[in-house]
Chains A and B, each alone.
Chain A
Amino acid sequence: MKTLKFLALAIVLIGFSSCSSDDDNGGQQLLDVEAETVSNLYAPQTGGQGSGEDISGEFTKFSFSLGTTTTSETEWDIAFRGTSIILNGGSSMGTIDEPARSGEAAGYIIEGTFNDIASVNTELLTQDSEEGYVLSDWYSYDPVNHVINPTAGRVLVIKTHDGKYAKVEILSYYKDAPDSPSMESEYRYYTFNYVYQPNEGEITF
């Protein structure tokens, strides 16, 4: 017990001391990087999935600077509808109810663990276009259990609508992120981890 307490204390102290050294660096006061988890972001859609109807329905928009969903027409970074994720940047693929893109958002998907992706490779940044959505290949479909699982080792790196950076690891597509989702699980509920770098021009997380 005592060792544990000591360890905890040591970790806290080290944490403090490293923070302070960060603050000292460069002389300019930087904002802390924000690491958060978003749970049960609901992204409904209508039509599609063999219903014979075209996919439609409003996208659920998300803002990294707010850390929540938003209804703003312009101040959003990414938006969700079913398994589709779009960026507030580039051009529309032309599906029904796709919101207008007014920002400079871009992104890419890269292989790695969430922690390993420590900086942005700005050369890889791409915007949505008529060809398709940049952030589309994030899941795998399990044809036996008929569930959508986020593919392991895929990290979404995103340039926000106002030119800052974030990284996202999607954890679940099902309500309350069950350990073993099934066909009966309520779906289109996103749970994801993200790290947001609020400082202009900073590309590390």
Chain B
Amino acid sequence: MSLNKNKICIYFSLFFSLIAFAQEVETDSTETKQLDEVIVTATRTVRQLSSLPLPAQLVSKKEIKSVNSLRLSDILNEQTGLITVPDFGGGEGIQLQGLDSQYTLVLIDGVPLIGRSAGTLDISRITVGNIKQIEIVKGASSSLYGSEALGGVINIITENPKYGFNGELNSRVGSFNTLDNSFNLGYRKEKFSVSAFVNSFSSDGYDLNANDALNTVEPFKNHTFNTKLTYNFNENTSLFLSGRYYTQNQDYVASEDLKGESDINEWNAHAKLSHTYNEKWSSYFEFYATRYMADEYLNNTDNSRFSESDFNQLLLRPEIRASYKASEKSDFIGGIGWNHETLKRTDFSTNPEFNSPYAYLQYDTNPTEKLNVILGARFDNHSEYKSQFSPKAALRYKLSNKIAVKGSVGYGFKAPDFRQLYFDFTNSSVGYTVLGYNAVTTAIPQMEANGELANIVVPISEFENELNPENSIGINVGADYRLSNTVKVDLNVFRNNIEDLIDTRVIANKTNGQNVFSYYNVHKVFTQGLEFNVNWKPSNNLKLMGGYQLLFAKDKAAVDAFENGEVYARLTPSSPSFQLKKEDYFGLYNRSRHMANFKIFYTFERWKLDANLRGTYRSKYGLYDTNGNTYLDKYDEFVDGYSTWDIAFNKTLYKNYTLGFGIDNVFGFTDTQNISNISGRIIYGKLNIQI
């Protein structure tokens, strides 16, 4: 814990005095009802969040604005059960229900973001400046979305312009010379709307460890451009067009003598034509294309090139989707589509190409007023790995007006990525080699012919079958409880059984004493736990939210090894070893058993001032095995649990102007050894102008 007892006392007294204060205010406020929010991600249809049989969360534009977030990573970190985990490549991926970033699909307006060069999708890439709502659906969702939707789906819904001509300017300046400017212009009349958004974000970065030539985060600058257009030809036919471009330039420093730059360029083009045929039938034709390019180089001190690498991925996806309203109570939606993906990358054996046609169908029905059932399935054919059939079933039963129970079971998968299939990389200084699964059958005989191999450990014949996608069965069971008009509680218990996780192993020994590694399906892991959210809105002015996640994430082989008494440890590196017990196994790396958040939002109407205090807590976790038994056990060194606290104030002036001020990470918590994505205290000021 980074907070001492005194500070906690201050918090509690502050907290309770605020509650007391709030209750006084409550007497003269009218009773408030919480608005029913809608979500599109869970079913690909517009659904009321409150009636959904799946665990889902919404983050509204109002919340994003009141906490003055800049990037998607900032705001997701404050949501229950979500945490951003820094990648060694510098990006930040999201961990959801204890699953790594590679198992959560991230969408913008319903279409996926690409560019996972090492599996992680860096969500700090995404500005929140033009977001209307963030939708988070937990649990395996491959029945609608296919690959990557193994742990869940995060969908970013961008803002649509209001009627007439409107614009918004946002500017935030803060610590580390961080500057964020965005400008949004929109126009809408009956048939037509158009909007344009520009964001520029730059920072000097920060350095948590002054002992080396490297900064923890090197200086960078990036820009996001987004334009959207909608046109309603008539009541039944409409067109949506969206284009987005993101570009980032960052210093790239490997050592005192090796310096360069890294560039990211990404574009997305999305077109959708919707047509309603009659009361029962409607359809969409959708086309999506996106390219992600990451290039980096390092130069020696004499400006000669030391190394360069590039990554260039393209995804094309046409899709047709139809929905059929069978009755007042039942809807069908179905779609067919085709994913075409290519990648050019340094250190690849070929320029691979993926082709994957798919089809899905979902049936959403309310057989009685109290019962909602969703059944769905999707089939993904694939040119490079085994075809996948992903079913899902969910139901929700309303026990009374106050309480409803829900449950869902679904299959999720993540296709092996290009790297796991086609990598052909030899480390030039150390000399080891990493081969993609599909590269083995050609690369190994070649290495053998060149006399590079001393010994083959795994015969090539083992690589003749296709590599299996990593797959999971996710179960979620929960309840929504509306204690009163002002208090909402929800609970969700989850379990994800993941199989065929892909890992590396030594497949051959080289004559230079190093090894050849390749990928294979091996691990079975599970994550299970529960999530609990409380939402209390005692008055129009005050809102309190709290969330908690309990998590157990374990490798099944490790559980067995502990049970069989095959694991040993020492108290110090030089004390006698002893046998570990079953309960000494902590679980997977980088997973905290407890995560919690607390938020309080208050509006001082007299001063037109919004204020909020938010805290997040994460209990201890292990980053790697420190006592040499290859498992994370309770005698390992852990990263201490910590909490960070943010405050923000926004005051509205002359109706159209808002001045903001805030401190993120008020107590300046850092862990220079272990946590690279917490920079320390950030003080900022913000200006918002509505036109």
Contacts and interface: CB of A to CB of B under 8 A. Distances in A.
Contacts of B575: 171
Interface centre among B567, B572, B573 (most CB of A within 10 A): B573
Contacts of B48: none
A114 B568 CA distance: 11
Contact of A150 (B567, B573, B626): B573
A113 B573 contact: no
B629 interface: yes
B572 A180 contact: yes
A169 interface: yes
Interface in B616-656: 624, 626-630
Contacts of B627: 149, 152
Interface stretch (B186-194, B223-231, B494-502, B576-584): B576-584
Interface in B546-574: 566-570, 572-574
Nearest to B627: A152
A181 B576 contact: no
B457 to A, nearest CB: 14
A163 B574 CA distance: 29
User: Which range holds the interface residue count of chain B?
Assistant: 10 to 19
B568 A113 contact: yes
A113 B578 contact: yes
A142 interface: yes
Given A113-B579, A144-B624, A153 B574 contact: no
B568 A111 contact: yes
A152 B574 contact: no
A140 B577 contact: no
A151 B628 contact: yes
Interface in B318-350: none
Given A144-B624, A153-B567, A153-B568, A171 B576 contact: yes
Given A151-B628, A153-B629, A177 B574 contact: yes
Contacts of A130: none
A191 interface: yes
Contacts of B576: 113-114, 169, 171, 193
Contacts of B572: 179-180
A179 B577 contact: no
Interface string A125-152: 0000000000000011010100101111
B455 to A, nearest CB: 11
B574 A178 contact: yes
A197 interface: no
A172 B624 CA distance: 21
A52 B576 CA distance: 35
- Chain A, interface size category, equals 20 to 34
A142 B626 contact: yes
Contacts of A179: 572-574
A116 B630 CA distance: 21
A116 B628 CA distance: 20
Interface string A144-179: 100101111110000000000000010110100111
B566 A152 contact: no
Contacts of B573: 147, 149-150, 172, 178-181
A172 B630 CA distance: 18
Nearest to B575: A171
B107 to A, nearest CB: 36
Contacts of B577: 113-114, 152-154, 169
Nearest to A191: B574
Interface string B593-629: 0000000000000000000000000000000101111
A45 B294 CA distance: 45
Contacts of A177: 574
A152 B569 contact: yes
A142 B628 CA distance: 7
**Most-contacted residue by chain A among B572, B575, B577, B624 (CB, 10 A):** B577
Nearest to B570: A152
Contact of B629 (A116, A152, A191): A152
A151 B567 CA distance: 10
B320 to A, nearest CB: 51
Nearest to B626: A142
B628 A152 contact: yes
Nearest to B630: A140
A139 B570 CA distance: 13
A148 to B, nearest CB: 9
Contacts of B629: 140, 151-153
Contacts of A172: 573-574
Nearest to B623: A144
A179 B579 CA distance: 19
Contacts of B570: 150, 152
Nearest to A116: B579
A142 B366 CA distance: 58
A147 B637 CA distance: 15
Contact of A140 (B566, B567, B578, B628): B628
A149 B624 contact: no
A26 B386 CA distance: 68
Nearest to A155: B577
Interface in B503-531: none
Interface string A35-79: 000000000000000000000000000000000000000000000
Q: Looking at B572, B574, B626, which has the most chain A CB atoms within 10 Å of its CB?
A: B574
Nearest to A174: B574
A169 to B, nearest CB: 6
Q: Which of B569, B570, B627, B630 has the most CB of A within 10 A?
A: B570
Interface in B78-134: none
B211 to A, nearest CB: 13
A54 to B, nearest CB: 12
Contact of A171 (B568, B574, B630): B574
Contacts of A180: 572-573
A184 to B, nearest CB: 14
Nearest to B572: A179
A112 B572 CA distance: 17
Given A112-B579, A153-B629, A172-B573, 10 more contacts: A113-B578, A114-B576, A139-B628, A149-B573, A149-B627, A169-B576, A169-B577, A171-B575, A178-B574, A181-B574
18 contacts: A111-B568, A112-B568, A114-B576, A140-B629, A144-B624, A149-B573, A149-B628, A150-B574, A151-B568, A152-B569, A152-B578, A152-B627, A152-B628, A154-B568, A172-B574, A178-B573, A178-B574, A179-B572
5 closest Cβ contacts across the A-B interface?
A: A153-B568, A140-B628, A172-B574, A177-B574, A152-B577
